[in-house]
Each structure stands twice: as structure tokens, then as C-alpha cells.
Structure 1
């Protein structure tokens, strides 16, 4: 028992180090996990890790967080999995809540305080375009998928309601199931043993939060339901989350301004850990009217809401995924889901640019950020830091004139 505790402690320390050093997106994250948890610590084999990561990629929710939770589950069961989840998300969550507190303080006490973000607001769109390129290259392989992507982008341009996105994902998956015969045949298991406990937990929390929020009208409960629902429906990682959150919290509910959203998103690209941590920033500012306590409560509620559903689902599916993935219609449906996700990511770039002033400066900042990400070796966080520094200098110069 004592040896197990030491192993758990070492594992959680490794997770904490990852949470503080994992800059650069999911590809860098996976490489760091392979180096730390496979080659150095030998918690599991590389094949096992890649299979877990592949499973997390086809489930809704944050892939990196689900992968960390799944590794913890393999090593020490549910307790270590939830401990892994907490250690992994906490640093980024605290940083983004701190960012929200700072932004709120500046706006309360210094008019025009977001002028320092003059550069990083359009830069955030450059990040979205770069992410869209990488995601499309990875997920779109057929003409049908490309057409689905364009249709999804068109619909998201003009009907950007938070309620239409889940329907689009479902329809996209159903459309491509007819291609199941093109999937390589794998001998199917006639009997799939499914343990429904974690699925019922996921669904129960989803329905319970929705009913409680509807009948009580309490903002913290409604915020938890909003983020829990988004965390249950997002395929494609943190970049795909952006249009959902922007539509719901900026355009639909108007809890944040477009400038605040873009500033928070750009800053979230410069910190380590899960990209879904942008949710903590949005949740905090959504409850700013409650003062500092509201900022803290909103941030932690958003983090719980966005990260828990993916964890429940990975615990549910990991037990029978090896059997389920042999069914060709299941694999075929993923093509449509991924295509719709790419379309919504394309729409996000337009939706985020629309509120900005259409001038040469903003267009140059967007293109410049994309070029740096695509063709230079400058680390992504450093690009954001340069943008913030340039904005501060520009603001100081203009105020001095």
C-alpha cells in the first residue's frame, strides 16, 4: 500500500509538471506525455497511450484532459483519474481566472484599459485560422467531407445559435454512415458488454443541471449547465470550442464583449495546460457583478462544467471501445462529425472578425500572426507576449502625444 501511494504521488507530480510546461497544443502535449509517462516512467506502453489518445480524439470534450484522466484510470482507478484531472486543469484554470480578475479590475478603474490588447485581439483570429488549417488537413480526406464542411460553415455563418451546433454534428455523422462499406472490415464482436454507470452519471448531471437551472434561474447553476452542455458536445478540441462559446456568451447572452473574449482567447494561447481553460475566464467574467467572489465562483464552476463531462464519457466508453470501433458505421460517422467541426471552426474566424474594425491594421495583424505560426519557429506563447508588449508600448506612445 505504501508503494502505491509513492507511485501515485510521483505520477501526480509528473502530471503537475506537464500542466506547467505543456505549451504548443495537442501535438506537443502528446510528445511530452510519451517522453515522460512511457519512456521515462513506463506507466504504460506507447501503443496503449496512442490507443487511449485516439479514443479521446473521437469523443466529445477536451482530448488532452481525457487522455490524462484515462491514464490515471488505468494506473489507479477512478480516484487517481479524478486526482489527475484536478492537478492537470488547476494551474491553467487559476491563470485564466486571474486574467479575468485583472481585466475586470482594469475596466472598472481605467477607461480604455483594453487598449493594451489592440494587437492581440486580431492576433487571436490568426490563431483560429492557423488551427483551422491544421484541423482541416488532419480530418478532411474526401470530397463529401469537404462539402459537408462548407455547408456547416455556411450555416454557422448565418444561423449562429448555440442550439443548432449539436444538431449539425448529429446530422453530419448520420450523413456519412452510408459510407461504412468503404471502411476496412474488422471482425465484429457479436456481444459488447456495456457498463452504463458513468453514462447515466453523465446524462443525469446534464438533465439535472438543465432542470435545476430552469426552475431556480440561479446564474451559477445555469452557468454550470451551459459549460457542461458545451463540454458534452464539442468534437475536435479546444479550437472548435471557440465558436460555441462566442455565440453563446457574447452574441446570445452578452455576458462578455467581443473585445474581452478575443483578449482572453489570445492570452489563453500563451499559457500551458488545456486550451479549454478559456472557459474559466468566460465563467468568471459572466459573474463579475457578484464582485471578486463571483469572479472566483464563476471561474471554478465553468472549469467543473467544461471538464467533467468528457471525463465521465471516457470512463464509460474506454471499457468497450475496442469492440465498438470494429463496427464500420461507427467509424464512418466520425468522418461527418469531424467535417462539421471543421466547418464551425472556419465560421469562428469570420464571427470573431466581424465585430473588429475592418481596417488595414487588423488585417495585417491577423495575417502576420498566421505567417509567424506557419513559417517561423517562434513559440506560440512568445508571439502573444510580443503582441501584448507591442500593445502596451503603442498605448503609452499614443497617450504621450
Structure 2
């Protein structure tokens, strides 16, 4: 039965201009190091804690929804926030601001414009990774206190973390969210329900179905059209669109799919692929922008800037269509009491997924020695107690990593 009597307005009704959203996400794109889990920490700090555009439960709803969808999870959260605040134009502005810095850096790397020695680059990357650990620790702790206040939801979070570690990110995330939703709807009490307020999402069911139809048509139709026309640009677009449509888990999970697409076809050599992968880890923003490097260095024509543009648009386009299809329907489903109980379980699972990501790859790739742990403690104190902005902590930790070597 629908519970519409208890609905209260949510802090997403206000609108922001595309330019405002672009500037906010551009700053995040310049400073958001550490991969998808860290990006969610930056988003939460910016839009829940500092700007209060979303409440904790709504932010977690959006994160949970994007975990269901294939593609880059953190970028999809950014697209969803942009859509909530500024419609379609806001979604494009948010994505462009968050993605542009890493695209430009990777295209520059593809052209060979590197000014730092390998040793200095490794030291800076070390500091950036440690700062990312601190950001994720703070996000997991804060979200855990809010979304797992009782034994039942804390248990769901723990089981979800174990599932992701045991099964891997691609399967563990989807399995834990589905299982947590079923468990929440069946076993959680009404007192654990999330607020029933609507997301305030503009759009209609017709628009949602149109987005999904376009997604499916491009997924299945583009390869056939590219093969018929023998067009390399269309083949390049179709290949990267397919990767963006089918990869679950985001981040590092996309790498084997990309390698299987570009290396066997001779578009990019294995050595160039690994060099670009290393560069993609060293820049802020989404790892999916690795597609820009691959498009720029492709052996086909066009390559360079045009190739980077084709590959980047192709790999992110499925995210726009899937978010456009899912958000209006998600808002409808949240009106049901059983779905809100399921969301309480799913939100707990999101905490567990972030906890698993905190261990691997965030912690395992960053903390290797006592010095690394000292830098992590400094970053945590600055973030948690001194309230230093996350971008400043990132820069300071990178500088300290170089200084204390």
C-alpha cells in the first residue's frame, strides 16, 4: 500500500544553473583523486554535508541506484545529482566539469607532454592515494553511523562487504544489493524505513522508456551499422559504447574489457595500453576517461583529439541514457512502504560496498609502510576534526609524501 501521507519535501527542489554545476564539478574533477569510492566521499562532503542539497538517505538512494546500473558508478552519481538540480542541461554540465580535467590530462599525456620524472610522479601518486584512503574512511564512518544505526543493518553492511571481497566487485556489488533489498523488505521493521519524500526528479515514464529504448537500440544496432558501412569512427564509437553499457563495478573492472577491445584489433599496442593505464591512475576524476587516451593513441583514423572525443562520448553515453531511464521510475517506486524498507537494506549494503572498496583497492594500493600510515593519520585528523577541505588535504598529503620520502 502506498504511504503518501507521510511524504515531506526534500532538499532537492531548488535548481542550479548549468554554469554553477559545471564550476562545482570542475573543482571536484580537479581534486577528486582515488577512484570511485573516494569520489563518492567527495560528493557526499560537497552535496550532503557542505551544501545540503541532498539529505543522507537521498544521496544513498542515488548511490544505490547507480550501483545497479552498468557503467562508471561515481560518474553516474554526478550525472544524477546534476539532473536533480538542473535537468538535462545540469546533468551534462556536471559530467563535463567532472570529466574534463582528466580527459585533457590524458590527451596531453598521449601527445607526450610529461614534465615530471618517473620517481617524482610515483611519490605524488603515493600521497594522492593516501589522501583518498582518508576520504573513503571518513565517508564510510559517517554513512555507517547514519545508515547502519542498529544490529540488523550493520549485519547487512558486513555481509555485503564480505560478498564483494569474496565474489569480486562486478558480481559482489549486484548480488549484495539485490540480497539486501530483499532482506530489508522482508525483515526490517517499519521504524527503520527511509523517508518517503520524493526525489523531485523531472521527467516522465514516457521519457524514461524512450531513454531505455535508445540505450538498447544503440547497443545492438551500432555494431551492425559499423560493420555494414566499414566505418572506423563508427566502429570505434560502437566498441566503446558497448564497454560502457556492459561493465558492472566500474573503475578497474573496465580495464580488461577495454584491453580486449583495442589491443587484439591493433588499435593500441599492449605497451601503450599499460602506459596509459598508469597515467589514468595518476590523474583525478573517473578512470573511464582512460578511453580518451586510447582514442587519442589509436592506430586508426581519426585519432588524436578527435579520436579521444569519440571514445569518451561513446563510453559515457550509456550512463546518461540509463540514469535518464532509471531516475523517474526510481522516484515512483520509493512511494511504496515495502520499497522504502528495501531501500533501508540497500543503503546498508552501500556502506558495506564502500567498506570493501576501502580495503581493496583503496587501502591495499596506498598503505605499505609506517610512513604511509602516519600520512593517513594526518589526513584523517585534518579532514575529520580540523574540517580542512578535501582538496587541500589532497594537495598537502601529496606534498608531504614527497617531503618525507
Fold match (TM-score > 0.5): yes
Could you give the per-residue CA deviations for residues 119-176 of structure 1, whole angstroms, max 9, x where no partner exists?
Answer: 1123222222222112212221231211121111112112215134223211210111
Distance 1:14 1:366, change over 3 A: closer
Matched, 1:227 2:239: no
CA distance in 1: counterparts of 2:153 and 2:57, whole angstroms: 24
1:374 to 384, 393, 397: 384
Alpha carbons 1:180, 1:331 under 8 Å: kept: no
Q: What is the Cα deviation at residue 199 of structure 1?
A: 3.4
Q: What is the Cα deviation at residue 329 of structure 1?
A: 0.9
Alpha carbons 1:227, 1:305 under 8 Å: kept: yes
CA distance in 1: counterparts of 2:27 and 2:218, whole angstroms: 34
Q: What is the Cα deviation at residue 333 of structure 1?
A: 0.6
Could you give the per-residue CA deviations for residues 21-70 of structure 1, whole angstroms, max 9, x where no partner exists?
Answer: 679634533587679xxxxxxxxxx9xx9998797566436455434423
Q: What SS does structure 1 have at the residue aligned with 2:213?
A: helix
Distance 1:160 1:219, change over 3 A: farther
Q: What SS does structure 1 have at the residue aligned with 2:170?
A: coil
Distance 1:287 1:167, change over 3 A: farther
CA distance in 2: counterparts of 1:154 and 1:313, whole angstroms: 28
CA RMSD of aligned residues (A): 4.2
Matched, 1:248 2:253: yes
CA distance in 1: counterparts of 2:56 and 2:372, whole angstroms: 40
Q: Corresponding residue for 1:69?
A: 83
**Gapped regions of structure 1 (runs ≥ 5):** 1-9, 36-45, 73-80, 188-193, 234-243, 269-277
Q: What SS does structure 2 have at the residue aligned with 1:173?
A: helix
Q: Corresponding residue for 2:370?
A: 360
Q: What SS does structure 1 have at the residue aligned with 2:106?
A: helix
Distance 1:213 1:12, change over 3 A: closer
**TM-score, length of structure 1 as denominator length:** 0.66
Matches within 5 A, 1:164-313: 164-179=172-187, 182=190, 196-211=205-220, 220-228=237-245, 244-250=249-255, 260=279, 262-264=281-283, 267-268=284-285, 278-285=286-293, 287=295, 289-290=297-298, 292-293=304-305, 294-313=307-326
Matched, 1:119 2:138: no
Q: What SS does structure 2 have at the residue aligned with 1:118?
A: helix
CA distance in 1: counterparts of 2:274 and 2:349, whole angstroms: 26
Distance 1:159 1:128, change over 3 A: same
CA distance in 2: counterparts of 1:354 and 1:54, whole angstroms: 25
Q: What is the Cα deviation at residue 288 of structure 1?
A: 5.5
Count of paired positions? 334
Matched, 1:386 2:396: yes
**TM-score, length of structure 2 as denominator length:** 0.66
Q: What SS does structure 2 have at the residue aligned with 1:25?
A: helix
Alpha carbons 2:127, 2:399 under 8 Å: kept: no
Q: What is the Cα deviation at residue 357 of structure 1?
A: 6.9
